[in-house]
Chains A and B, each alone.
Chain A
Amino acid sequence: DVKVTQSSRYLVKRTGEKVFLECVQDMDHENMFWYRQDPGLGLRLIYFSYDVKMKEKGDIPEGYSVSREKKERFSLILESASTNQTSMYLCASSSPGNSGDTGELFFGEGSRLTVL
């Protein structure tokens, strides 16, 4: 069964702490994504990566960084957590979406982060 696994379902951190959210996929996908989900705002893209060591900013990259040292792993880093980063974080992966493939995103179960 194909899978995207996020390391923590629930995290509680203090303001100013460094936070790592880990995501691993077993589908050999080139593309990986980090979204955050907030009520009334839907899903907003933070960062994405289309290859190892490659990354591109999404719509709301401020306050975040990412790391992709291996194809299967994509990490989201909050250098200094703030209360406005309290949210649900969703990791996803996909194939390139050519050769008749829809290129749908496969999502992890989400990590709910609370920053106090």
Chain B
Amino acid sequence: AQKITQTQPGMFVQEKEAVTLDCTYDTSDPSYGLFWYKQPSSGEMIFLIYQGSYDQQNATEGRYSLNFQKARKSANLVISASQLGDSAMYFCAMREAGYGGATNKLIFGTGTLLAVQP
């Protein structure tokens, strides 16, 4: 069965440093999509970045990049130059084309709580 694993319940990082949040996934479908969301203390879920399984290059969005290693089934989020406002819960999620299909059902990991220290 498809699964998303985030092994880091919480992390600290110093302001202005880079941080990597780990995510591994398990699927037998060759076509899938990987997402990262940010959830600040206010509760809203903010979409950060997307990587398709057939994308040749790692996705980047501003200070966010996705380190996609297909053979290892990992999709780590890298945040460069951390800011105090990056303190939040971060969720990795996966959509399988074969299972979710056009319904876009996502399965989520358990999240990593990131604290940026001044």
Contact = CB atoms under 8 A, between A and B. Distances in A.
Contacts of B50: 102, 104
Interface residues of A, number: 32
Contacts of B47: 104-106
B105 interface: yes
Contacts of A45: 105-107
A90 interface: yes
A40 B104 contact: no
A102 B105 contact: no
Contacts of B37: 107
Contacts of B106: 45, 105
Contacts of A44: 108
Contacts of B43: 88, 109-110
Given A31-B103, A42-B91, A96-B102, A102 B33 contact: yes
Interface string B39-51: 0001111010010
A94 B35 CA distance: 13
A43 B91 contact: yes
Interface in A65-115: 88, 90, 92, 94-98, 102-110
Interface string B78-118: 00000000000001010100000011111111110000000
B104 A42 contact: no
Contacts of B109: 42
B44 A107 contact: yes
Interface in B18-47: 33, 35, 37, 42-45, 47
Interface of B: 4, 6, 9, 33, 35, 37, 42-45, 47, 50, 52, 91, 93, 95, 102-111
Given A31-B103, A31-B104, A103-B95, 20 more contacts: A33-B105, A35-B108, A41-B110, A42-B108, A42-B109, A43-B91, A44-B108, A50-B102, A56-B103, A88-B43, A92-B45, A95-B104, A96-B102, A96-B103, A97-B33, A97-B102, A102-B35, A102-B50, A104-B35, A109-B43
